[in-house]
Amino acid sequence: MSKILKKFITFYHKLGSYPWFYKFSGIAIPYVAFISLIPLFIGLGWGIFYSPTDYKQGDVYRIIYMHVPAASVSQSIYYTMTIAAIVSMIWRMKMAGIFIKSMAPIGASFTFLALISGSIWGQPTWGTWWIWDARLTSTLVLFIFYIAIISLYSSFSEKKSADQAVSILTLVGAVNLPIIKKSVDWWNTLHQPSSIKLTESSTISLEMLYPLLLSIIGFYLIVLLSGLMAMRAEIAKREINKEWFKSL
């Protein structure tokens, strides 16, 4: 066990090195691309074409195969950014700043997808495109935080100051995360409570659940792939004049 822990700590420390991460991500990207596309396309294909039609909603429920994974990754990305912000604030690790800068646009795009797909799904099922429901509003706040982080970063010319400023803003936005999660329990919302539960049995049919789980896995792997690519590009941007990058 201690050997595994030691290896993990060594790996974690190596992640802080720009040249090491640049080389590592270059090797990892093709493999991650291959393994991410398989569950994504099987999950979406299975869900859209082969899973049974819902007896109440008909085929429109199939938006679930895009909406739920997008909503899940949009929150998870912010959780990881919060950890990176803490690391950046305490240890001043430069890679944490790169992580936040690279992940914010990815998080914003998936939050946008969750909001738009939810709205499109809401129109035929709830009879409205939008309602100021606690879940919807807190997700909109998450989207605004992502946009604010992107905007704040671009307003700085000095990267070190930008990293510190966005770390503080990321930590402020983290307050919203438990609100999103618990909004359906704390308030009487139009948005339904979670159908997939880790501790209890899910309230969704298994024929619909399996493609949904595959789709969720696919989305998480796509986020990993996009993150690796975005961080690699950001490292190249910051280190373009450094000797190690020139020697590549």
Partner 1 sequence: MIYDFNDYNFHVWFVFFLTLFLIGLNLIIPKFKLKKLKTLQEIDKD
Q: Which residues contact 37 (CB under 8 A, 6 or more apart)?
A: 218
What Rg value do the Cα atoms of the chain yield, rounded? 20
Q: Cα 15 from chain centroid?
A: 20
Q: Spell out, one character per residue from 187 to 226, where the chain touches partner 1: x when CB under 8 A holds, - when not.
A: -----------------------------------x--xx
Q: Is 48 in the site for partner 1 (CB under 8 A)?
A: yes
- Do residues 93 and 164 touch, judged by C-beta distance below 8 A? no
In order of 15, 108, 121, 122, 173, the CA distances from 140 in angstroms are 32, 10, 16, 15, 12
- Do residues 120 and 165 touch, judged by C-beta distance below 8 A? no
Total number of residues that touch partner 1 (CB under 8 A): 38
Q: Is 63 in the site for partner 1 (CB under 8 A)?
A: yes
Q: Is 62 in the site for partner 1 (CB under 8 A)?
A: yes
Long-range Cβ contact pairs of 81-84 (< 8 A, separation 24 or more): 81/107, 81/149, 81/170, 82/170, 82/171, 82/173, 82/174, 82/177, 84/167, 84/170
Nearer to partner 1, 69 or 173 (CB): 69
Q: Is 56 in the site for partner 1 (CB under 8 A)?
A: no
- Do residues 142 and 78 touch, judged by C-beta distance below 8 A? yes
Q: Is 100 in the site for partner 1 (CB under 8 A)?
A: no
Q: Is 67 in the site for partner 1 (CB under 8 A)?
A: yes
Nearer to partner 1, 33 or 89 (CB): 33
Nearer to partner 1, 96 or 225 (CB): 225
CB of 46 to partner 1, least distance (A): 11
Q: Is 229 in the site for partner 1 (CB under 8 A)?
A: yes
CB of 29 to partner 1, least distance (A): 10
Q: Is 101 in the site for partner 1 (CB under 8 A)?
A: no
Q: Is 86 in the site for partner 1 (CB under 8 A)?
A: no
Q: Which of 21, 78, 110, 220 binds partner 1 (CB under 8 A)?
A: 110
Number of Cβ atoms within 10 Å of the Cβ of 238: 16
Tokens of 128: 């409205």
The residue ranges that bind partner 1 (CB under 8 A) are 40, 44, 48-50, 58-60, 62-63, 66-67, 70, 102, 105-106, 109-110, 112-113, 116-117, 120-121, 123-124, 222, 225-226, 229-230, 232-233, 236-237, 240, 245-246
